C-alpha cells in the first residue's frame, strides 16, 4: 500500500528527512543524466549594457522548436535535429540576432546572444515580450511593468512603482495619501513585496505617501494579484517582485533626477575584470532636501540661532546597490543591498547662566541647561547574496542568503541640568532625565535553495526549500533618572515587551507542463511550517491555460495560502504612519486564504491584450485589533507590568470581483484601461458582515502614454472609483456609565454626549475622481546622454475627493445657540503641479 | 506648447488652496427612542436607580435648557418665608414627563420625576412614589416607561441571590505589596472586585490612595496586591490606612452594558468631536439602555505599610 496518511504528510521530520533530500537528488541526478541530450542553451542580453532580456523569442529557423528566455535571460531548446541550424533571437525594440550552429558533432551548444536596441520594428519574426508572455506564462492575474511604464505614469511629485500599480485592475487604494496596495480584498500586510527576492516589510516613506523603491534603479516589476504559484509563500494576498537593474556591464553611465522634494542619483558600470571574472554594479540613492533648504535659509537669515528653532524636522533617504560577478559562464554571484530610512527629529535647547532674577538673592551663579529631543525614525535594511549556477543546460540552481530588517522607534528625551553656586560657596548640582521609547523591530534572515529543471520541452520543474529566522521585538519603555548632589535615583518601567523568534520554513515543488499543444498547466505544492504551531500546512496550487486559438486563451487558477505574520494596526484607520508587525500568536490558528480565479485572455494582432478575470477569495482565521485598543492598559496594570497590545479578535472575510484590462505595451500610444468590480466583506462578532475601509465597488482607470514627437511625450491617468465606506452618525444620545470608581459616591451616571451610529461602514464618501497629466520634453545631451524636463499636474480638475469627514458642533454666536452637528471633509490631493528634471549620462 | 509655466503654477496653487466646506448633518428619517437606565439591588442600602432620557437628532440644540423656578424656605431669623428666583438646567435629553412603573406580578409601583434641585438634573432621575419600595431577592420585576408623545419601552429583570465575602478567609490586617486572596460565595458568572481607599478617612485617604479593580469571570476568588500611591510625607505619618474591599456580582446584562468591551461596538473615528456606538441596549425592549440587577458586599481592612 502506497497510501500515505495526511498526518504523515504534514509531519515535519517526514518532509525534512525524506521528501527534501529525495527531491534534490532526483533533480540533480536527472539534470546530469540529461546533460548529454541535444540541446542549445544560453543567455540573451542587451548589447549596450549587458542587462539580461526576458521573454525573448529564441527559435530554430525552419523548425517549430523554440523557447522564451526567463527572467534571467536564460533559455533552453531541447530535442533538436543533429544538423547545422540557424538560431534566431528576437524581441521588439531590438534588432534580431542570428547564429549558425553545428549540432552534428555535439550534444549541447552554449549560445549567448547580444541584442542591439533599435527603434525599428516590423520584421515578421519579431514579436513582443507581451506576446511571449501570453504564450508562455500560466500565471493568471499577472501584470509586468517595465521601467518606462513605471516612469511615465503620473504620480505624486515623482514616479513611483506603487502609484502605478494602484492603477491596475484589482488594486485599490485607500486614499491619495497612501501608496499601499489593497489587492482583491487583501490588506497591505498580505502582500509579499520582494526586492531582488528579499522581502521588504514596510516599503513606504512618509506614512505611505511614497514607496521606498527608487524607480531609477528598477528594471521591471512583476505584480501577481492572486493565484500565485507554489514558489511564493508566507503571504496570502498578492506578490510584487521588483527586480533592480544589474548595472551596465559595458561602460560607466548614470542618471540624475531632481524633483520638488528629492534628488536621485544612479551610477552603474562594469567591475574591473580579473581573468574570467567580470561583472557590473549599480548604485542608486535618493534623499529629500527640504530640511536642508530650510536650514540654509534659516542660517542665512539668522533664524537658526534663535531659541526654539527646530528647522524642518523630517527627511528620508534610500540607497540601493547591486553587484553581479560572473565566474565563468556558469556561475553568477549577485550581491544586493537596500537601505531606506525616514527621520523625524527635533531638538529644543535652552542654556542660561546667572539670570538677572537671582542677582538680588544669595546666588553667585546658576548654570541651567535644558534639552528636549524627539527622534522618530523608521526604515528597512536588506542585504542578500545570491549564487546562480548553471549545473547543466537543463538544471539551474539558485542559492540565496538574505536578511531584511525593519526598525521603527520613537524616542523622546527630556533632560535638564542645574548647577547653582551660592555666595557662601555652597554648590548645588542636579539633573533630571526622562526617556520614553516605543520601538518595533522586525528581523528576517532567510536561506533559500531553488532548482529549475527542464527535462524536456514540455516540462519546467522548479523545486525549492526556504527557512526564515524571524525576530519580532515590540517594546514600550519609560526611564527616569534624577541626580542631586551626588545622589542618584533611577527607574525604568517596561510597559510593553513582546519578543518572539519564530522560524518559518517551506518546501515547494511545481511543474509547468505543456500537457497538450493547447493546454498549459502549472501544478505545485508548497508545505510550510511555523515554529509557534506544530503541524506543517499544505498549500496546493494549480493554474491552467487553455488556448482556444493562438491568440485566445482561457485561464484558471486555485490555491491555498497561509500567512503567519500580521500587523497590529486598527483596521479602521485610513492613514497609518507605519505597520507594527507581529507573529500569529501560538494560541491562534494561522490565517489562510483560498483563491479561485478564472478568466479569458485575448491578444490582438497589434499587441493589445484584453483580459477579463473573475475571482473569489476567502479569508479564515484573520485577527484584527480592536479599534481604540492601540495601547490598551490592562485593568489591573501596575507600574512596570505588561500592557496588552495583542487584543486581537477573530475575523473572517470574503472577496469576489470581476476585472477587465485592455493593455497596450508597444506602439506610439501605450497604456491600459482597467475596470474592477469588487466586493469585500469582513465578518466579526461585534459587527457582523461589513465592508472594510478600503472597499471600492467600481474602479475605472485609464492610463495612456503618448509619444507625441521625438522631443515631446505626454501621459495621463484618469481614475474613477466608488467612494470608500465610512460609518455614518445618525443621532445623538447619552450612554449610562457605572461610576463604581475611585472618587465617585454615586454609583451610576452618564458619560458625555455620544453618537448613535449606523451600521459599520454602511455609508460611502462621494465617488473618487482624479485626472492627472504629465508632459516630458526630452533633449539629447552629448553622444549618448539626454535631458528630460517633466511637468505634471495632479488632479487637474481639482475635484474634491473626501479623505475623511470630521464633525464639529455648529454654534450661532448671534443667537447664542447650538445649531447641531456639522461635518467637513478633509480632502485628498487638490490640484498639484510639480516639475522636475532628469539627466542620463 | 507655448505657455507661461510660472503663471500657470501660481494659478494652480491658488486653485488648490481652496477652503474646506462645512455642512450641517441632518438625521434622515429620525425617530426618537427612549434611553432608560433601571438598576435594582437590595444591597448598598437598596438601589433603585431609574433615569429616562431620549435620543436627539443631529440638528438642533444640544446641552441643557434653562428651567426657572421659585425656591422658598422659612427663615427663623426673619420669621417668614423667603423665596428666590432660581434657574436649573435640564438636559435636552432628559425626559421629565414619563409614566414609569415597576411591577412584581402583584403590586405595581409608580415612579415620579425627581425634581429635587440638589440633584443634578442632567439625566432625568425617577424615584418610587412609595418610599418603602425595596427590591427583593428572587423577585422578577417588569419595567414600563411611556411618554405622552407615544414612546414606550419595557423590560423584565430578576434580583439575583446575595453575594458574601468570605471574611474568615481574609486577614484582618493586610500588608502592602503582599498577595492576598479575596473569596466570595455566589453563582454569578461575572464579578467585579474593587479595592479602594476608604473615602471617609480624611487625610489618610488622600495620603495613600489605592484603587484596584478587576473583573473576574467564572471564579469565586481573586488574588490581589495592594500597591498604594502615597504622598512623600505619608512615609512617616501614615503607618496604617484603611481600604474598602467590594465585591459586586452582576447579571449578564449589567456586564454586557457596562463592562464588556464588545458591548458597545465602539468607534473612535469621529475626530474632534467624540465617541459613538451603535446604541447599547440590554434588557430594554423597544429602546436603548439597561435594565439589570446586581448584588454586592463590602468589607474594610487595615493595611500596614
State pLDDT tens for residues A168-227. Answer: 999 998 888 888 899 999 999 999 999 988 888 888 887 777 888 888 888 888 999 999
Length of chain A as a residue count: 841
CA separation, residue A420 to residues A368, A430, A697 (Å): 8, 9, 69
In whole angstroms, give the CA distance from residue B154 to residue B141: 11
Q: Is residue B14 less than 8 Å (CB to CB) from chain A?
A: no
CA distance A671 to B197: 72
A 365-394 near B (Cβ less than 8 A) = none
Highest mean pLDDT among A88-92, A358-362, A409-413, A578-582: A409-413
Cell numbers 422659612: residue? B74
CA nearest to A540, candidates A607, A478, A592: A592
| Residue A149 to residues A164, A165, A205, A278, A355, Cα–Cα distance (Å) | 8, 10, 22, 31, 64
**pLDDT of A519 higher than 90:** yes
Q: Which residues pair with A326 in a beta bridge?
A: A278, A332
Where is average pLDDT lowest: A22-26, A278-282, A580-584? A22-26
CA B224-B227-B228 angle, to 5 degrees, is: 130
Q: Is B148 an interface residue toward A (CB < 8 Å)?
A: no
The residue-averaged pLDDT of A148-165 equals 77
* Predicted pLDDT of residue A66: 83
How many residues does this entry show for chain B? 305
Domains of chain B: 34-159 (no CATH), 164-251+296-304 (2.60.40)
pLDDT tens per residue across span A449-462: 999 998 888 899 99
Contacts for A174 with CB less than 8 Å, ≥ 6 apart? A180, A182, A574, A693, A694, A724
The pLDDT > 70 percentage for chain B reads: 81
The long-range contacts involving A212-215, CB below 8 angstroms and separated by at least 24 positions, are A212/A318, A212/A338, A212/A340, A212/A380, A213/A160, A213/A161, A213/A162, A213/A242, A213/A318, A213/A320, A214/A264, A214/A266, A214/A284, A214/A285, A214/A286, A214/A318, A214/A320, A215/A147, A215/A150, A215/A151, A215/A158, A215/A159, A215/A160, A215/A161
Instruction: State CA A466 to chain mean position distance.
Output: 20
> HSE (CB half, 13 Å, CA atoms) of A329?
12
Q: Which residues of B touch A629 (CB under 8 A)?
A: 261
Of B59-68, B98-107, B262-271, the one with minimum mean pLDDT is: B262-271
Tell me how far apart the alpha carbons of residues A624 and A82 are, in angstroms, rounded to a whole number: 63
Q: Has residue A266 got a pLDDT over 60?
A: yes
Contact A752 B274 (CB under 8 A): yes
Q: What percent of chain A has pLDDT over 70?
A: 88
A606 phi, psi to nearest 5 deg: -100, 25
Distance (Å, whole) CA A523 – CA B114: 76
**CB count, 10 Å around CB of A812?**
10
Give me B74's grid cell.
Answer: 422659612
All residues at 6 or more sequence positions from B66 whose CB lies less than 8 Å from its CB, including other chains: B87, B88, B89, B90
CB contacts of A626 in chain B (<8 Å) are 261
Question: What is the DSSP secondary structure assignment for residue A15, as one 8-state letter?
Answer: I
CA-nearest residue of chain A to B290?
A736
With contact defined as beta carbons under 8 Å apart, do A345 and A376 qualify?
A: yes
Which among B297, B296, B293 has a CA at the least distance from the CA of B139? B293
| A430 burial via Cβ count (<10 Å: 0-12, 13-18, 19+) | middle
Least CB–CB distance from A732: residue in B18, B28, B58? B58
Residue A183's DSSP bridge partners are A171, A186
Q: Residue A39 above 90 pLDDT?
A: no
- What is the predicted pLDDT for the residue at A645? 54
Q: Indicate the helix (H) or strand (E) that contains A406.
A: strand A395-422
pLDDT band at B155 (very low <50, low <70, confident <90, very high): very high
Model confidence pLDDT, tens digit, residues B125-143: 899 999 889 999 999 999 9
Cell readout for A88 is: 534566431
- The residue among A157, A260, A754 with the most chain B CBs within 10 A of its CB, best to mutate, is A754
What Å distances lie between residue A408 and A312, A494, A569, A745, B247, CA to CA?
A: 20, 17, 14, 45, 43
Mean per-residue pLDDT of chain A: 84
pLDDT at A145 (0 to 100):
81
Cell numbers describing residue A281: 554594479
The grid coordinates of residue B121 equal: 438634573
Going by pLDDT thresholds of 50, 70 and 90, the confidence category of residue A35 is very low
**Coil, helix or strand at residue A394:** coil
**ipTM of the prediction:** 0.85
Cα angle for residues A324, A508, A441 (degrees, 5° grid): 65
Pairwise CA distance, residues A91 & A113, whole Å = 12
Examine domains A37-120 and A136-244 and report if their fold is the same.
Answer: no
First to last CA, chain B: 85
- Say yes or no to pLDDT of B220 above 60: yes
Phi, psi of B276 (to 5 degrees): -155, 160
| Residue entry with cell 505624486 | A156
**B167 has a pLDDT exceeding 70:** yes
B226 touches chain A (CB under 8 A): no
The domain at A37-120 falls in which architecture? Sandwich (2.60)
Cα–Cα distance for residue pair A219/A179, rounded to 1 Å: 20
Segment A256-274 mean pLDDT: 87
pLDDT higher than threshold 60 for residue B120 = no
* Maximum pairwise Cα distance, chain A: 109
Contact status, residue A236 vs residue A592, Cβ threshold 8 Å: yes
Q: Best residue in B4, B269, B284, B298 to probe A by mutation, most A CBs within 10 Å? A: B269
Query: Is A726 in CB contact (< 8 Å) with chain B?
Result: yes
Say what the pLDDT of residue A672 is. 92
Q: b or e along A13-49 (b: 16 or more beta carbons within 10 Å of the residue's beta carbon)?
A: ebbeeeebeebbeebbebbeebeebbbbbbbbbbbbb
Query: What is the distance of C-alpha B298 from the center of its chain?
Result: 19
Angle among Cα A645, A649, A650 to the nearest 5 degrees reads: 140
pLDDT, position A786: 86
**Domain spans in chain A, listed from the N-terminal domain onward:** 37-120, 136-244, 264-329, 770-841
pLDDT tens for A644-670 read 455 677 899 999 999 999 998 878 888
pLDDT for position A725: 93
Element (H, E) at A23: helix A20-33
What is the maximum alpha-carbon separation in chain B? 97
Architecture of domain A136-244: Beta Complex (2.170)
Asked if residue A23 has pLDDT above 60, the reply is no
Q: How far is A124 from chain B (nearest CA, A)?
A: 38
Burial A201-234 (b: 16+ CB within 10 A, else e): bbbbbbbbbbbbbbbbbbbbbbbbbbbbbbbbbb
Work out the mean pLDDT of chain B and round it to a whole number: 81
Q: Please tell me chain A's helix, strand, coil percentages from 3-state DSSP, rounded to the nearest 5.
A: 10, 60, 30
Task: Note the pLDDT of residue A9.
Answer: 46
Other C-beta atoms closer than 10 Å to the C-beta of B22 total 14
Give CA–CA dist A652/A620, Å, rounded.
5
* CB A289 within 8 Å of CB A315: yes
- Which residues on A lie below 8 Å from B209 (Cβ)? 742
Quote the pLDDT of residue B18: 52
Residues of A in contact with B276 (CB under 8 A): 727, 729, 754-757
Amino acid at each position: 500500500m502506497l497510501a500515505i496518511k495526511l498526518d504523515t504528510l504534514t509531519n515535519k521530520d517526514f518532509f525534512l528527512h525524506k521528501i527534501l533530500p529525495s527531491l534534490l537528488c532526483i533533480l540533480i541526478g536527472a539534470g546530469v543524466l540529461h546533460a548529454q541530450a541535444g540541446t542549445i542553451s544560453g543567455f540573451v542580453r542587451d548589447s549596450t549594457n549587458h542587462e539580461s532580456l526576458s521573454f525573448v523569442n529564441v527559435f530554430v529557423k525552419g523548425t517549430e522548436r523554440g523557447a522564451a528566455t526567463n527572467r534571467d535571460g536564460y533559455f533552453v531548446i531541447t530535442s533538436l535535429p543533429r544538423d547545422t541550424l540557424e538560431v534566431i533571437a528576437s524581441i521588439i525594440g531590438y534588432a534580431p540576432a542570428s547564429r549558425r550552429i553545428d549540432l552534428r558533432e555535439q550534444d549541447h551548444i552554449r549560445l549567448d546572444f547580444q541584442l542591439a536596441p533599435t527603434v525599428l520594428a516590423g520584421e515578421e519574426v519579431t514579436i513582443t515580450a507581451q506576446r511571449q508572455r501570453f504564450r508562455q506564462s500560466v500565471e493568471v492575474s499577472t501584470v509586468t511593468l517595465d521601467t518606462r511604464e513605471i516612469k511615465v505614469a503620473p504620480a505624486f511629485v515623482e514616479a513611483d512603482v506603487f502609484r502605478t500599480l494602484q492603477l491596475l485592475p484589482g488594486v485599490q487604494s485607500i486614499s491619495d495619501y497612501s501608496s499601499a496596495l489593497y489587492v482583491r480584498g487583501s490588506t497591505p500586510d498580505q502582500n509579499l513585496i520582494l526586492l531582488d527576492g528579499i522581502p521588504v516589510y514596510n516599503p513606504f516613506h512618509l506614512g505611505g505617501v511614497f514607496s521606498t523603491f527608487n524607480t531609477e534603479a528598477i528594471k521591471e516589476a512583476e505584480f501577481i494579484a492572486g493565484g500565485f504559484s507554489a514558489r511564493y509563500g508566507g503571504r496570502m494576498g498578492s506578490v510584487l517582485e521588483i527586480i533592480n537593474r544589474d548595472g551596465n556591464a559595458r561602460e560607466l553611465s548614470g542618471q540624475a533626477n531632481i524633483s520638488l522634494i528629492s534628488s536621485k542619483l544612479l551610477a552603474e558600470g562594469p567591475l574591473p575584470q580579473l581573468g574570467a571574472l567580470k561583472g557590473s554594479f549599480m548604485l542608486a540613492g535618493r534623499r529629500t532636501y527640504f530640511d536642508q533648504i530650510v536650514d540654509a535659509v534659516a542660517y542665512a537669515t539668522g533664524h537658526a540661532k534663535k531659541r526654539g528653532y527646530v528647522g524642518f524636522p523630517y527627511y528620508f533617504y534610500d540607497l540601493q546597490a547591486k553587484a553581479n560577478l560572473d565566474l565563468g559562464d556558469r556561475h553568477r554571484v549577485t550581491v544586493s543591498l537596500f537601505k531606506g530610512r525616514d527621520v523625524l527629529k527635533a531638538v529644543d535647547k535652552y542654556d542660561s547662566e546667572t539670570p538677572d532674577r537671582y542677582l538680588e538673592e544669595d546666588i553667585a551663579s546658576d548654570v541651567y541647561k535644558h534639552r528636549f529631543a524627539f527622534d522618530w525614525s523608521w526604515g528597512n535594511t536588506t542585504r542578500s547574496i545570491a549564487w546562480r549556477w548553471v549545473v547543466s543546460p537543463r538544471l539551474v540552481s539558485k542559492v540565496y542568503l538574505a536578511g531584511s530588517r525593519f526598525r521603527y522607534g520613537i524616542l523622546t528625551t527630556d533632560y535638564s541640568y542645574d548647577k547653582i553656586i551660592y555666595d557662601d560657596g555652597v554648590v548645588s548640582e542636579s539633573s533630571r532625565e526622562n526617556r520614553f521609547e516605543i520601538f518595533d523591530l522586525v528581523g528576517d534572515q532567510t536561506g533559500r535553495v531553488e532548482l529549475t529543471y527542464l527535462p524536456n520541452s514540455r516540462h519546467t520543474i522548479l523545486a525549492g526549500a526556504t527557512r526564515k529566522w524571524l525576530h519580532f521585538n515590540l517594546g514600550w519603555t519609560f526611564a527616569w533618572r534624577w541626580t542631586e548632589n551626588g545622589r542618584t535615583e533611577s527607574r525604568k518601567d517596561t510597559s510593553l515587551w513582546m519578543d518572539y523568534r519564530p522560524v518559518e520554513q517551506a518546501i515547494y515543488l511545481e511543474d509547468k507542463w505543456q500537457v497538450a499543444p493547447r493546454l498549459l498547466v502549472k501544478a505545485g505544492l508548497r508545505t510550510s511550517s511555523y515554529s509557534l504551531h506544530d503541524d506543517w500546512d499544505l498549500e496546493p496550487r494549480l493554474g491552467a491555460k487553455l488556448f482556444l486559438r493562438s491568440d485566445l486563451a482561457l485561464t484558471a487558477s486555485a490555491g491555498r495560502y497561509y500567512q503567519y505574520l500580521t500587523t497590529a494596526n486598527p483596521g479602521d484607520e485610513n492613514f497609518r504612519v507605519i505597520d507594527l508587525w507581529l507573529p500569529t500568536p501560538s494560541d491562534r490558528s494561522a490565517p489562510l486564504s483560498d483563491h479561485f480565479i478564472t478568466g479569458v485572455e485575448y491578444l490582438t494582432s497589434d499587441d493589445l491584450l484584453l483580459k477579463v478575470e473573475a475571482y473569489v477569495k476567502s479569508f479564515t482565521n484573520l485577527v484584527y485589533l480592536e479599534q481604540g485598543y492601540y495601547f490598551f492598559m490592562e485593568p489591573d496594570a501596575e507600574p512596570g507590568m505588561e500592557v496588552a497590545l495583542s487584543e486581537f479578535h477573530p475575523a473572517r472575510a470574503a472577496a469576489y470581483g470581476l476585472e477587465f484590462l485592455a493593455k497596450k505595451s508597444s506602439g506610439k500610444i501605450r497604456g491600459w484601461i482597467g475596470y474592477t468590480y469588487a466586493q469585500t466583506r469582513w465578518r466579526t462578532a461585534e459587527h457582523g458582515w461589513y465592508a472594510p475601509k478600503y472597499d471600492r465597488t467600481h474602479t475605472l482607470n485609464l492610463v495612456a502614454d503618448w509619444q507625441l514627437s521625438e522631443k515631446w511625450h505626454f501621459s495621463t491617468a484618469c481614475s474613477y472609483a466608488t467612494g470608500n465606506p465610512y460609518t455614518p452618525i445618525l443621532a445623538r444620545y447619552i450612554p449610562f456609565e457605572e461610576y463604581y470608581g475611585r472618587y465617585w459616591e454615586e454609583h451610576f451616571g452618564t458619560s458625555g454626549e455620544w453618537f448613535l451610529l449606523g451600521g459599520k461602514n454602511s455609508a460611502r464618501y462621494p465617488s473618487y475622481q482624479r485626472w492627472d497629466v504629465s508632459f516630458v520634453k526630452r533633449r539629447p545631451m552629448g553622444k549618448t546622454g539626454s535631458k528630460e524636463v517633466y511637468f505634471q499636474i495632479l488632479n487637474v480638475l481639482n475635484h474634491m475627493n473626501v479623505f475623511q469627514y470630521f464633525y464639529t458642533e455648529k454654534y450661532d454666536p448671534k443667537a447664542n445657540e447650538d445649531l447641531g452637528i456639522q461635518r467637513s471633509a478633509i480632502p485628498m490631493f487638490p490640484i498639484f503641479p510639480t516639475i522636475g528634471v532628469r539627466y542620463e549620462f | 506648447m507655448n505657455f507661461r509655466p510660472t503663471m500657470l503654477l501660481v494659478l494652480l496653487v491658488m486653485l488648490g488652496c481652496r477652503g474646506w466646506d462645512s455642512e450641517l448633518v441632518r438625521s434622515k428619517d429620525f425617530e426618537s427612542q427612549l434611553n432608560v437606565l433601571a438598576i435594582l439591588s437590595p444591597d448598598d442600602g437598596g438601589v433603585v436607580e431609574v433615569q429616562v432620557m431620549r435620543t436627539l437628532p443631529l440638528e438642533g440644540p444640544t446641552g441643557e435648557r434653562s428651567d426657572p423656578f421659585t425656591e422658598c424656605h422659612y427663615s427663623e431669623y426673619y420669621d417668614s418665608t423667603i423665596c428666590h428666583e432660581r434657574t436649573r438646567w435640564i438636559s435636552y435629553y432628559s425626559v421629565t414627563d414619563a409614566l414609569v412603573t415597576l411591577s412584581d406580578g402583584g403590586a405595581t409601583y409608580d415612579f415620579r420625576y425627581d425634581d429635587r434641585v440638589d440633584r443634578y438634573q442632567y439625566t432625568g432621575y425617577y424615584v418610587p412614589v412609595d418610599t418603602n419600595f425595596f427590591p427583593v431577592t428572587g423577585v422578577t420585576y417588569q419595567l414600563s416607561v411611556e411618554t405622552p408623545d407615544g414612546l414606550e419601552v419595557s423590560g423584565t429583570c430578576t434580583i439575583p441571590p446575595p453575594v458574601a465575602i468570605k471574611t474568615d478567609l481574609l486577614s484582618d490586617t493586610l500588608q502592602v505589596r503582599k498577595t492576598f486572596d479575596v473569596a466570595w460565595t455566589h453563582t454569578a458568572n461575572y464579578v467585579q472586585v474593587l479595592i479602594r481607599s476608604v473615602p471617609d478617612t480624611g487625610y489618610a485617604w488622600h495620603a495613600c490612595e489605592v484603587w484596584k479593580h478587576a473583573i473576574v469571570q467564572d471564579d469565586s476568588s481573586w488574588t490581589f496586591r495592594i500597591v498604594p500611591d502615597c504622598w512623600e510625607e505619608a512615609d512617616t505619618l501614615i503607618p496604617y490606612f484603611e481600604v474598602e474591599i467590594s465585591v459586586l456580582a452582576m447579571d449578564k446584562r449589567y456586564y454586557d452594558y457596562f463592562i464588556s468591551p464588545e458591548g458597545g461596538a465602539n468607534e473612535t473615528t469621529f475626530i474632534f468631536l467624540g465617541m459613538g456606538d451603535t446604541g447599547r441596549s440590554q434588557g430594554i425592549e423597544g429602546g436603548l439602555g439597561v435594565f439589570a440587577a446586581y448584588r454586592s458586599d463590602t468589607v474594610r481592612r487595615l493595611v500596614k505599610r
